[in-house]
Structure 1
Amino acid sequence: MHDIDHDWMDEVRKNNSDVKIVPRILFDGWEVQASVQFLQNDAWMNRCASDLINLLTRTQFDGAVVELWASVMIQTGGEAVELLIEMLRAWGDAFHKKDLQLIVPVGPPLNPENRPTGMFTPGHFFALSEKVDYVQDFFGCSATYSLSYTQIMTYDYTSKDMLGVAPYDWVDHSIAAVLDRLPEVAGQLMVGLNYYGYEYSGRSIEAVNFDKYLEKLKKDGNKLEWDSKAKEHFVNTGSISIELKLALIFRSSKIYYPSLTSIEMRLNAARKHGVGAAIWDFGQGLNYFTQLL
């Protein structure tokens, strides 16, 4: 862990004592065998959890966002899911005993056709949200959950067509698919919202932050339009030319980028289902997006 700005953390907490500051913990570059061996070895998992908790406590963080679910599910085709759930439940218990939050992002539950991906199911959510023990508080005994929050990556929409970054119906159906008949644990779920955009040109897709978006929007002839199907705004930037050996190929280009309208619609969907919201790449958004939070 590097570049911890404790002065900034103190200033944030001074302005709002309820704010929790939780860093992302990434498990990148692991081979399949290493991931499975880690999940099968209680000593390794316990040592990792202990070291992580000590680090978070020492550096004055309030918990962590542990990114492990999606990579393990993809690597193992879901075969290691029981081991993964067992590990995260154990970690959640260890975190809660130290008054730390454990947040786990998971892959999208539905594909672009709104069919289950198997990446995250109601059964998985129930196992991670189940009440596992009781903690003493001022009012007596109250239940605690395996995880503080599970966050579904509803900004990770993949389609060969230019249908937006996270089409509204897909986001709404994804929330409903995870909750299924589990409304009592809706408070443990967060829907992912993107503050970045994508530029689609032919088969090419490129991430777009606010600088590039504003640059394209200000160009003559470019105008903001509404995609009624995706329920997102986009800028039709016309055509781009790709030079091949003996010819130029022209392809249409669009930039989908969040707007107050698209963000508010997704926040309203979260409210309707009783879930929270998690913003991905907050710094890539426009400053006035915070008006909705």
Structure 2
Amino acid sequence: MARKRRSSAAESLKRRKDGEVSLSQVEEPDSDRRLIAIFVIFFILIPAVSIVVYKVKFADRVIQTETSIRHRGIVKTNISFQEILTEHSKATENSTTRHYDYPVLAYITPWNSKGYDMAKIFNSKFTHLSPVWYDLKSSQGSGLVLEGRHNADKGWIQELRSRGNALILPRVVLEASPSEMLKKKKLREKAINLIVTECKEMEYDGIVLESWSRWAAYGVLHDPDMRKMALQFVKQLGEALHSTASPRNNQQHMQFMYVVGPPRSETLQMYDFGPEDLQFLKDSVDGFSLMTYDFSNPQNPGPNAPVKWIDLTLKLLLGSSNNIDSSLARKVLLGINFYGNDFVISGDSGGGGAITGRDYLTLLQKHNPSLHWDKESGEHLFMYRDDKNIKHAVFYPTLMSILLRLENARLWGIGISIWEIGQGLDYFFDLFHYALLSHQNMIKRYLIRICHVSS
């Protein structure tokens, strides 16, 4: 382009001398100047201004994304309360990459609305998102009613789908009386029809069903015949969803996740969900959301989910870690809690209960505690005394405790389910992006020593 401009200017000068300059030849240099001006504006000035505006408006985000949790050196056992208070909000907003290769299901609850925002920001770190919206209940008039559509947020779903590919599977809790529903064929069919119809009308990608714990509470699973009917209902619902096309892709079917609780002892009881149940449902269920949390309670204070207990649960379901069906294992989603517990450990009655990340940060700011790493459970905890001089023990997940469970799941070849992302700290999400290779060998040795996980 430059050569053409120099050639044209020399020719014009020659013609001026010769008295042969035409109107078009006189205007040609002006045209060149306009082209240069356009080039400068569009390719130099506008990009430069955009960069300045971006840096001014998003300066904090740029700084935060440049330094990962790995480089900040905060994934460790000897963490301090000051580091947590300083670093917890510095999550890298890289929502396009996920290094964890197995399925990741994240729950979102209406009562912790922060989860809705986290789901949008970190959409692509998850394969499935499950808003807790629905209950299937008994009804005097029609027998069954599906409640919860008023919770559904279509605008939020559309925004999620514009940002990533995570599937939307709302949770449905089966509150209906099982002694009625499971025994009557028409009620079973109606329950399935209500759920599948809701998925079609609301354009969901499927559902997550929670019923096993409800059935156990009703005593249904103690009866062998009722237990068989319960499993058959789950199987039929899965088959109905699998025979229904996904609203986003006619070549794929709707997906079905099923929530199961962990056994409470080293031997399986009649009401426990076991390996035979896993085998029976494996073709009808896309994922089993395993609730490996709530190990402790106010009456029995302690860690949220000890790694030895997690490992025992997986061995009861899947067998030895070095001799399992990998395709079946991949459908098991290890439950990871993003909440903690603040237990009262002095006095006569005990007490306390679940806390969110916001509650945890408030306690750190108020009491400036020393955090202790419990090797046996693989969790951090701290003690404090409240205004009445009553002693408390606080267990809440940290980067190290979560990474330990992610690595354990990776060794087993299983997925992850998170309860729930509105209760966590922002930088937890970085663990699903960074491989943190420098920690993996150390964590593997730790798991082998504590849990006897196969190498």
- Taking structure 1 as the reference length, the TM-score comes to 0.84
The amino acid that maps onto 2:399 is L
Per the alignment, residue 156 of structure 1 pairs with 294
Residue 116 of structure 1 is matched in structure 2 by 268
Say which of 166, 171, 175 aligns to 2:305.
166
Matched, 1:43 2:182: no
Q: Secondary structure at the match of 1:164?
A: coil
1:127 is the counterpart of 2:265: no
Task: Give the residue type in structure 2 aligned to 1:16.
Answer: G
One-letter code of the match for 1:209? Answer: T
Alignment partner of 2:211 out of 68, 86, 95: 68
Equivalent position SS for 1:7: helix
Q: Secondary structure of 1:2's match?
A: helix
Letter in 1 for 2:243: K
Superposed CA offset, 1:129-164 (max 9, x none): 1xxxxxxxxxxxxxxx11111111101314654321
Deviation at 1:4, TM superposition (A): 2.1
* 1:235 matches 2:382: yes
Question: Which structure would you say has the larger Rg?
Answer: 2
Runs of 5+ unmatched residues, structure 1 = 130-144, 242-249
Distance in 2, Cα, partners of 1:60 & 1:52: 12
Q: Secondary structure at the residue paired with 2:168? A: coil
Distance 2:387 2:310 in 1: 30
5 Å matches for 1:164-243?
164-180=303-319, 182-184=324-326, 185-202=328-345, 203-238=350-385, 241=388
Structure 1 CA distance, aligned partners of 2:352 and 2:273?
Answer: 25
Distance 1:125 1:205 in 2: 35
Residue-by-residue CA offset, 1:140-193 (whole Å, 9 max, x unaligned):
xxxxx1111111110131465432111111112211211126524111111111
Which range moves more in the overlay, 163-172 or 102-111? 102-111
In structure 2, the partner of 1:252 is 391
* 1:26–1:220 distance in 2 versus 1, CA, 3 Å: closer
Which residue in 1 is equivalent to 2:202? Answer: 59
Opposite residue 396 of structure 2, the aligned amino acid is Y
CA distance in 1, matches of 2:296, 2:185: 36
In the TM superposition, residue 212 of structure 1 has moved relative to its aligned partner by: 1.0
Contact 1:225 1:236 in 2 (8 A): no
8 Å contact kept, 2:290–2:334? yes
Q: For 1:69-148, what aligned pairs fall within 5 Å after superposition? A: 69-76=212-219, 78=221, 79=223, 80-98=226-244, 99-111=253-265, 114-117=266-269, 118-129=271-282, 145-148=283-286
Q: Which residue of 2 aligns with 1:136?
A: none
Q: Are residues 1:291 and 2:433 paired?
A: no
Q: Distance in 2 between matches of 1:5 and 1:97?
A: 26
Compare relative contact order (CA 8 Å, sep 6+) and give the higher one, 1 or 2.
2
Q: CA deviation at 1:251?
A: 4.1
Q: CA deviation at 1:221?
A: 4.2
1:202-222, Cα deviation, whole Å (9 max, x unpaired)? 321311001110010112442
1:140 — aligned with what?
A: none
Cα offset for 1:197? 0.4
Question: Which residue pairs with 1:11 in the alignment?
Answer: 159
Give distance in 2, aligned partners of 1:123 and 1:216: 44
Q: Distance in 2 between matches of 1:86 and 1:61?
A: 24
Q: Which amino acid is the alignment partner of residue 53 of structure 1?
A: V
Structure 1 pair 47–199 and aligned structure 2 pair: CA distance change class (3 A): same
Please give the per-residue CA displacement for 1:20-41, whole angstroms capped at 9, x wherever unaligned: 011111123x4xxx31221111
**2:174 pairs with 1:27:** yes
Name the % identity. 27
Partner of 2:401: 262
Runs of 4+ in 1 over 4 A off after TM superposition: none
**Residues 239 and 61 (structure 1), Cα distance of their counterparts in 2 relative to 1, 3 Å cut:** same
Change (3 A) 1:8 1:77: closer
Give the 3 Å change call, closer, same or farther, for CA 44–77 of structure 1 in structure 2.
closer
SS in 2 for 1:40: coil
TM-score, L = length of structure 2: 0.55
Give me the whole-angstrom Cα distance separating, in 2, the residues matched to 1:240 and 1:267.
37
